[in-house]
Amino acid sequence: MTLYTKDHEWIRIDGNMATIGISQYAQAQLGDVVYVELPETGKAIDKGKEAAVVESVKAASEVYAPIAGTVFEVNAALTDNPALVNEDPEGEGWFVRLHVPQGTDTGDLMDEATYKAFLETL
């Protein structure tokens, strides 16, 4: 299941692995992505702190971690092809994968229906 933040990040948790990216809405607001800065593997990231940076023709924005964890994989394909974020933001355009503790609290995140309702208020 995909969960979302009010800052337009998404997260999918599978066991103790979490994949993080930005939503379709976020990439549309950014415009054409031209550069992505990814963290080092092994870096511990706190919930709500910067997990990556994405730069577009319009602006640079931080991608925040919806939960705390340790980076064990980054999407190296974004280095050579940052446009993947625009082409498939909720698939191949993911940013980082974190190791997260089992039972991590996701209560403040939104499911897809709640996120879509949230977007209608913007």
| Domain assignment present for 118 | no
Residue 67 structural domain = 2-102
| Domain assignment present for 26 | yes
| Domain assignment present for 110 | no
| Domain assignment present for 51 | yes
Tell me if 57 sits within 8 A of 32, measured CB to CB: yes
pLDDT at 103: 83
Tell me if 38 sits within 8 A of 22, measured CB to CB: no
pLDDT per residue as tens digits for the range 36-58: 999 999 999 999 999 999 999 99
| Domain assignment present for 107 | no
Tell me how many domains the chain contains: 1
Q: How far apart are CA 78 and CA 38, in angstroms?
A: 9
74: domain CATH number is 2.40.50.100
Q: How far apart are CA 116 and CA 93, in angstroms?
A: 20
pLDDT per residue as tens digits for the range 57-110: 999 999 999 999 999 999 999 999 999 999 999 999 999 999 998 888 899 999
User: What is the DSSP secondary structure assignment for residue 109, as one 8-state letter?
Assistant: S
